[in-house]
Amino acid sequence: MNPVLVPTNDVNSEHGILVMWFAEDGAEVEKDELLAEVETSKAVLEVLAPVAGVLLHAAAKGTEVPLSQPIAQLFPDSAARDAFVAAQVAAPVISGPRATVKAQQRAAELGVDLGMLGLDRLITVKDVEAAVAPVATPADLPAPLPGAPGRQRILIIGAALGATQVLDILAGSTTQQAVAIVDDDATRWGAFVHGVPVVGGSGLLSDLFGAGAFDAAVIAIGRSPAVRARFRALCDAAGVPLANAIDPTAKIATDVTIGRGNIVCAFCHIATGVQVGDNNFFSAYNSFDHHSVIGSDNASGPSVVTSGKVTIGSRIRFGTGIYIEPDVVIGDDAAIASGAVIVSSVPAEHAVKTKIVTTTVVPLRR
Amino acid sequence: MIFAKELGDTLRGALADDGRVVLLGEDIADPYGGAFKVTRGLSTAFPARVRTTPISEGAIAGISAGLALAGYRPIAEVMFGDFLTLMFDQVVNHITKYQTMYAGQATCPVIIRAATGGHRGYGPTHSQSLEKHFLGVPHLRVVAASLYHDPRVVFADFLGRDEPVLYVEHKLLYPQHLALPVNGMVGDLIASSSGMLPTVRLSAVPREDCTVSVLAYGYQAHLAAKVVERLAMEEEIFAELIVPAQIAPMDWEPVLSSVASTGSLVTVEEGADGWSWGAEAASVVSRGLFGRLRRPVDVVASSPTIIPSSKTKEAAVLVGSAQIEAAIRRAS
């Protein structure tokens, strides 16, 4: 489908009068064929077909048309035109329940059918959560593993792929052991991830900790700083301490301070004098050079590399393969796209976007 | 329901209903029909009462004042609101003073319509929103066109009273479709309104669930409504947007009752930052709701500098959706 626009750079006119159609609705037209005349305050403009195709008028003769909108559409054949017209007619009929994006996600997680809520207003997460009866914890859910004596027993929050990364780190540990996983997606309950049971939802945190089932928690969510921050607040409220999970291949230099709840994946490098806050998720091959300062609740992809004396705020999402020059300051809640080379500071609540240059693969010339 | 066309029909109705109504302004007669085509067709229908004037805003103001004193109902079009400055003396020292000076024995009900605002690449002297200089002038009402207010209701109010009024019409509203509340909704937003020239309130969810109030008028209200709807749908950040028609003198009640519920206020205007409508709102709200605000009032306005002709540079100076969104996120 190709839009037919009125060719004008007349800044004084917002709209014009469609004086005449020279091609009937549904007609087959050639490229550059005269389709219509539109009169603005300054001139009568001829509108030509930008491509060949089957015409669908979007405005009637004699009506006023905004110059920013197409006056017609061109389709490759009449079947495509008919299908478009049919879809236009059908479109208003299929108005299902309106729900926010978060409510739709929550409904999918909890298995709630939004149509069954019977609400004719905007459905929010609150509505979705109110619709599910409080899930009684089934009696047959697995209990946390006992844990070996002398090891810190870790409860992992989140049973998706982040959990497998944390379990892999702990597999190489002689001081920590994963004993349980919690996840708010009830469909995961009762499953085992690399031999560790998913014992229920995050609502169990307080009870399990009170019962002495684990010593500290790790938030195994690698994507969303906001979700990491939310679960950290939940742990704080429940009095549950967070533990660091640091891969044995990571190089932690002297004179480094690290808070709690950080996940440091394989081959990371934290250089001398670096200060790290709480609850960060550093993917593999991250390198923070000397005397950099890092806040809390950040989430990074692999190969985020800083030079020395870089300051990184909190709740920042880093993509993959990012280089950061010395003394750069990255503000809270920023988002950095993959492949960025950051040469100057990024203010809080800003996104760094990159142009992706794809490599073209062509056959060899002989 | 294109705003420029609806406004033109409103003026046509006023001319037809009331023989005292006179339209004057630069290039408003046919075939040109005004720079933004609002008056197209009107000089053909009412040749005696729709007059093109010379290029002199001073003369337009003076003739309008005289006509109004003589019992007519002049509606003056200012092609570019930037040149309201040439009317300032007559508005401040004459048009707004007569009624009180002569103890009601004279009235001067001049209606001034001015096309304002930027985002069109018209440069430093054809893009401004200078209405803030007219706010607080005693006995002057300043009213802003919006997509949520029917121009017929607005002009019925103007013509039903004996007071002078400045009506600012942001240029980018002209090609837009009006979005008047229907069955308590504007599109997917819940709408309610109060007052004679109604203050319209728009939100995705009931006020109790909103965590920030947003006060905006004119084209900026249209931008803010889109941001409010998007933040609600995508992130469940819920804001209540308050859109007054009359921006001076203000009926603060709808603003205060909204902020009393949300505890947070963002104001939005396209005029230059400082000494502004939003600053007045911040003052009134902090006086009325001291101790009940969760955070300071955030005033979003354009950079206090000239408006560049380059569209890219203009976008960096004028308030747009990005600044509104950032402010609502901060304040929610």
B168 and B276 belong to one structural domain: no
Q: What percent of chain B has pLDDT over 90?
A: 96
Average pLDDT, rounded, for chain B:
96
B101 and B205 belong to one structural domain: no
Which residue of chain B has the CA closest to A101? Answer: B234
B261 and B165 belong to one structural domain: no
Within-domain flag for B256: yes
Write the DSSP symbol of residue B27: T
In chain B, residues with a C-beta closer than 8 Å to the C-beta of A124 are 205, 209, 236
In chain B, residues with a C-beta closer than 8 Å to the C-beta of A14 are 4, 36-37, 174-175
Q: Is the pLDDT of residue A10 over 70?
A: no
Q: What CATH number should be reported for the domain holding residue B261? A: 3.40.50.920
Write the DSSP symbol of residue B123: -
Domain that holds residue B88: 3-173
Within-domain flag for B180: no
In chain A, residues with a C-beta closer than 8 Å to the C-beta of B121 are 11
B196 and B289 belong to one structural domain: yes
Q: What is the pLDDT of residues B256-266, one digit of tens each?
A: 999 999 999 99
CB contact under 8 A, B190 and A121: yes
Q: What is the pLDDT of residues A202-226, one digit of tens each?
A: 888 999 999 999 999 999 998 889 8
Q: Please state the rounded mean pLDDT for residues B58-85.
A: 98
Which residue of chain A has the CA closest to B80? Answer: A12
Q: What is the pLDDT of residues A124-166, one digit of tens each?
A: 998 888 887 655 556 678 889 998 888 999 999 999 999 999 9
Domain with CATH 2.40.50.100 in chain A: 2-93
Interface of A with B (CB under 8 A): 11-15, 41, 64, 66-68, 98, 100-103, 121-122, 124-126, 349
In chain B, residues with a C-beta closer than 8 Å to the C-beta of A100 are 232-236
What is the third-level CATH fold of A2-93? OB fold (Dihydrolipoamide Acetyltransferase, E2P) (2.40.50)
B11 and B138 belong to one structural domain: yes
B51 and B191 belong to one structural domain: no
Q: Please state the rounded mean pLDDT for residues A81-102.
A: 76
In chain A, residues with a C-beta closer than 8 Å to the C-beta of B174 are 14
Within-domain flag for B198: yes
Q: What is the pLDDT of residues B197-239, one digit of tens each?
A: 999 999 999 999 999 999 999 999 999 999 999 999 999 999 9
Within-domain flag for B179: no
B202 and B98 belong to one structural domain: no
In this prediction, residue A139 carries a pLDDT of 67
**Amino acid in position B149:** H
Which residue of chain B has the CA closest to A100? Answer: B233
B145 and B228 belong to one structural domain: no
Nearest CB among A14, A122, A349 relative to B204 is that of A122
Number of independent structural domains in chain B:
2
In this prediction, residue B115 carries a pLDDT of 97
Last residue of a domain, one of B142, B173, B204: B173
Q: Please state the rounded mean pLDDT for residues B55-59.
A: 97
Nearest CB among B2, B37, B234 relative to A41 is that of B37
A146 compared with A363, residue with greater pLDDT: A146
In this prediction, residue A91 carries a pLDDT of 56
Which residue of chain A has the CA closest to B79? Answer: A12
A19 compared with A335, residue with greater pLDDT: A335
Q: Please state the rounded mean pLDDT for residues B276-290.
A: 97
pLDDT tier for residue A93 given thresholds of 50, 70 and 90: very low
Q: What percent of chain A has pLDDT over 90?
A: 54
Q: Is the pLDDT of residue A104 over 70?
A: yes
B92 and B214 belong to one structural domain: no
B311 and B221 belong to one structural domain: yes
Within-domain flag for B321: yes
A64 compared with B101, residue with greater pLDDT: B101
- When scoring B233, B298, B323 by the number of chain A Cβ atoms within 10 A, the one with the most, hence best to mutate, is B233
Instruction: Choose the most confident range, by mean pLDDT, from A7-16, A31-40, B22-31.
Output: B22-31
Q: What is the pLDDT of residues A216-267, one digit of tens each?
A: 999 999 888 988 999 999 999 999 999 999 999 999 999 999 999 999 999 9
Q: What is the pLDDT of residues A30-46, one digit of tens each?
A: 998 889 888 876 677 88
Last residue of a domain, one of B132, B147, B173: B173
B148 and B189 belong to one structural domain: no
Q: Please state the rounded mean pLDDT for residues A286-293.
A: 97
B78 and B167 belong to one structural domain: yes
Q: Which one of 3.30.1330.60, 3.10.450.230, 3.40.50.20, 2.120.10.30 gives the CATH number of domain A152-238?
A: 3.40.50.20
Q: Please state the rounded mean pLDDT for residues A1-17.
A: 77
CB contact under 8 A, A13 and B2: no
Question: 3-class SS at B277?
Answer: helix
The token pair that represents A175 in the structure block: 């001081």
Last residue of a domain, one of B173, B196, B221: B173
In chain A, residues with a C-beta closer than 8 Å to the C-beta of B204 are 122
Domain with CATH 3.40.50.20 in chain A: 152-238
Q: Is the pLDDT of residue B120 over 50?
A: yes
In chain A, residues with a C-beta closer than 8 Å to the C-beta of B35 are 12
In this prediction, residue A94 carries a pLDDT of 46
* Residue A93 C-beta-side C-alpha neighbours within 13 Å: 5
Q: What CATH number should be reported for the domain holding residue B20? A: 3.40.50.970
CB contact under 8 A, A15 and B234: no
A22 compared with B73, residue with greater pLDDT: B73
CB contact under 8 A, B235 and A101: yes
In this prediction, residue A134 carries a pLDDT of 59
